[in-house]
Amino acid sequence: MVIEHIDAQLPGAITDRHDFRGDQTIVVAKTNFLAVVELLHREGFQLLVDITAVDWPERPETQGVGRFDVVYHWLNLANQERLRLKVPMADGETMPTLTATFKTANWFEREIFDLFGIRFEGHPDMRRLVTWDDFPGHPLRKDFPLDGGDAFCMEGCTAPYNNGERGGE
Amino acid sequence: MEAPAMTRQEPDGDRMIVNMGPSHPTTHGTLRIVLELEGETIVKATPEMGYLHRGVEKLGESLSYTQFIPLTDRLNYCSAIMNNVGYAGAVEKLLGIEIPKRAQQIRVLMSELARIADHIVCVGVNAVDIGAFTVFLYLFKQRETTYDLFEMATGQRLHTSFTRIGGVFRDLPEGFVPMVERFLVECGAAVDECERLLSHNPIWHGRTKGIGAISPEDAVNWGYTGPCLRAAGVPQDLRKSQPYLGYETYDFDIPVGTTGDVFDRYLVRVEEMRQSLRIIRQVLDRLEPGPVMVDDPKIALPPKEKVYTRMESLIHHFKLIMHGMEMPVGEVYSATEAANGELGFYIVSDGGKNPYRIRVRPPCLPIFSSFEDQVKGALIADAVAVLGAMNIIAGELDR
């Protein structure tokens, strides 16, 4: 339903869509992303349920699309409609942040930065969320070894906290 | 290099920095909050998480769909069965199958027992933190009973791993239903007792009313779900609004608060316990005999006696264990109303034996991210009350 509205108001913004097991999914290019989100917000998709990412390391060679999909899940509380929005992007690119519109985006985006190494432009506090600050690598990338590489993931780690700048110790 | 994790002292101010956690009695799990205080007023609070990060999502990519079930136990360990149910539901959605009626009823029964156990932990422990120790003792007796019930049905008290893809791993044991009947009476009385001790208690009012109040708009914007969102006045409950497991056929109400403060969250949780007891009552009344697993050898393991005696069953068993289920290519997001809010599983399948990507959407991550907003300008004692009412479970928060 909302997909038709997006199509009508922003023609060409949706590059791909599918409906699997009742989950509506749209794929949007990064250039149109903020406009689509603004429209969604106006349409009543107030609850940003989740943000995550998926790594497809072979995709740049095989399909010529960026390596990552950043995946957003929205819920419209008024009519209980759900929508999944995917934005493909290449390694090293940045995504625009949604923290200005959705406060909940703050930690979700930090988590993606931590686990996938995708930076969010304009994020007020782009720090790691679940691993420590000088953790080497981004664990949820497919090329990150399952056992962490070395026993304690401490390679390149200089001090337990922020370069030893802990006052008084 | 990222900005430092520590909150640092202002060079010219005389603020005190208090480190709450990672092993503080009121954090209930390993999380840390760095509080900056002026007198006893909180000026800044920096929540830190990740102390219990085990890489569940990464591990899931190397485990088969069934092998992931024990990891879901360790998300919200206060109500492990609800995670089992949520995860199994997501994989079943991916497979496009419906589970037998009895399996659905058992899942509902167990989920509601787990919801009561979870709310008991939250309300009881929140009360202890604020100084009401008696409530905790009265309620935890009932929690023990729910864990006895879990042990009886699943063989484990905490890490239940009760569901399988396509049903539950065994039927309810003999003597289970009478024990639940007894629990319904005793727990109902304990909830009343809890209300008598707290709901009109002036100290409890003083400590909880107006603390952590949040508007419905803000709650939605912060991504709140579950009791915390309902306490703010938004009647959103997935059991009603997007029913699963036949919840639409049960008669129950959704309690809603008005201010979203700690007191309202307490009231919502207490009332939800009563509603869960109502649902359990209805499940017991309509529980009918039948299979508890789907009858599909491509999904469910054949019964052991058939594996030993029939060639075909042996082959199915071998195929399932060695090659796993035949999964369609695609992606699903499936959400259930867990005790803390919307517990979502986003599974991307490339058709292989293992999920290509498995994402757990924990209900308490967005709630905890609003912590600073909730306690700024309040006292340290209020931070303890707010933290307790958010019901942060580190296993689910960090994954």
User: Nearest Cβ partner of B58 from A46, A102, A140?
Assistant: A140
What are A119-150's pLDDT values in tens digits? Answer: 898 888 888 888 887 777 888 888 887 766 55
Residue A156 has a pLDDT of: 53
Strands A94-96 and A119-121: parallel
In a mutagenesis test of the A interface, which of B225, B361, B392 is the best target, namely the one with the most A β-carbons within 10 Å?
B361
Among residues of chain B, what percentage have pLDDT more than 90? 35
Using pLDDT thresholds of 50, 70 and 90, give the confidence band for residue A159. very low
Q: Which two tokens stand for residue A37?
A: 């989100």
Nearest chain B residue (CA) to A112? B359
| Four-CA torsion B206, B211, B217, B223, nearest 10 degrees | -130
B240 to chain A: nearest residue by CA? A80
Query: How many CB pairs below 8 Å do chains A and B form together?
Result: 119
The mean of the pLDDT values for chain A is 81
Compute CA distances B62 → A50, A71, A100, A142, B321, whole Å: 23, 21, 36, 11, 15
Residues 6+ apart with CB under 8 A from B189: none
Contacts of B139 (CB under 8 A, 6+ apart): B120, B123, B124, B190, B194
B188 vs A: CB within 8 A: no
Among A130-134, B207-211, B237-241, which stretch is predicted with the lowest mean pLDDT? A130-134
pLDDT at A42: 87
Calculate mean pLDDT across residues B352-363: 90
pLDDT for residue B109: 92
Provide the chain A residues 6-25 that lie in CB contact (below 8 A) with chain B.
20-21, 23, 25
Distance from CA of A127 to the nearest CA of B (A): 6
Main-chain phi, psi angles of A96, to 5 degrees: -70, 140
Q: Which pLDDT score is estimated for B11?
A: 55
pLDDT higher than 50, residue B322: yes
Determine contact: B11 vs chain A, CB below 8 A: no
Quick one: pLDDT at residue B2? 44
User: What is the structure's pLDDT at B270?
Assistant: 93
Closest chain B C-alpha to A9 CA, distance in angstroms: 25
* Tens-place pLDDT, residues B276-309: 999 999 999 998 888 888 888 888 888 888 888 9
In the prediction, which pLDDT does A145 show?
76
Contact, A70 vs A111, CB < 8 A? no
Least confident of A4-18, A23-37, A44-58, A60-74: A4-18
| pLDDT for residue B12 | 56
Say whether residue B19 is in contact with chain A using an 8 A CB cutoff: no
Q: At residue A21, what are phi and psi to the nearest 5 degrees?
A: 55, 35
Interface of B with A in 142-161 (CB under 8 A): none
Q: Which residue has the higher pLDDT, B180 or A63?
A: B180
In this prediction, residue A127 carries a pLDDT of 86
pLDDT confidence tier of residue B9, bands split at 50, 70 and 90: low
Global ipTM = 0.84
At residue A56, does pLDDT exceed 80?
Answer: yes
Q: What average pLDDT does the structure give for chain B?
A: 87
* Better pLDDT: A136 or B90: B90
Q: Residue B267 has what pLDDT?
A: 92
Quick check: A134 and B348 CB within 8 A?
A: no
Higher pLDDT among residues B12 and B342, named by residue: B342
Strands B357-361 and B341-350: antiparallel
pLDDT-derived band at B27 (thresholds 50, 70, 90) equals low
Residue A161 confidence (pLDDT) above 60:
no
pLDDT of B255 > 60? The answer is yes
Q: What is the pLDDT of residue B6?
A: 52
B273 sits in which H/E element: helix B262-286
Residue A158 has pLDDT above 60, yes or no: no
Q: Where does the pLDDT of residue B86 fall: very low under 50, low under 70, confident under 90, or very high at 90 and above?
A: very high
CA atoms of A112 and A118, how far apart (whole Å) = 6
Q: According to the model, what pLDDT value does residue A154 have? A: 53
Residue B25 has pLDDT above 70, yes or no: no
- Assess B242–A contact: CB distance below 8 Å, yes or no: yes
Task: Say if residue B339's pLDDT is above 70.
Answer: yes
Using the predicted structure, report yes or no on whether residue B5 has a pLDDT greater than 60: no
What pLDDT digit, counting tens, does each position of B189-201 carry? 999 988 888 888 8
Model confidence, pTM: 0.86
At residue B76 the predicted structure's pLDDT band, cuts being 50, 70 and 90, is: confident
Q: Do B1 and A84 touch (CB under 8 A)?
A: no
> Do A102 and B221 make contact, defined as CB atoms within 8 angstroms?
yes
Tell me which of A4-8, A46-50, A148-152, B309-313 is least confident. Answer: A148-152
Instruction: Report A:29-58 residues touching B (Cβ under 8 A).
Output: 46-50, 52, 54-55
First to last CA, chain B: 25
Give contacts of B234 with chain A, Cβ < 8 Å. 77
Mutate to test the interface with B, among A19, A21, A62 (most CBs of B within 10 A): A21
Closest C-alpha among B395, B338, B389, B346 to residue B367: B389
| pLDDT bucket at B107, cuts 50 / 70 / 90 | very high
List CB contacts (< 8 A) between A126 and chain B. Answer: 2
For residue B243, list chain A residues with Cβ-Cβ distance below 8 A.
none
- Reported as a single tens digit per residue, the pLDDT across B217-233 is 999 999 999 999 999 98
Q: Tell which of B48, B220, B336 to mutate to test the A interface (max A CBs under 10 Å).
A: B220
pLDDT of amino acid B366: 92
Asked if the C-beta of A77 comes within 8 angstroms of chain B's C-beta atoms, the answer is yes
- B82-89 average pLDDT score: 92
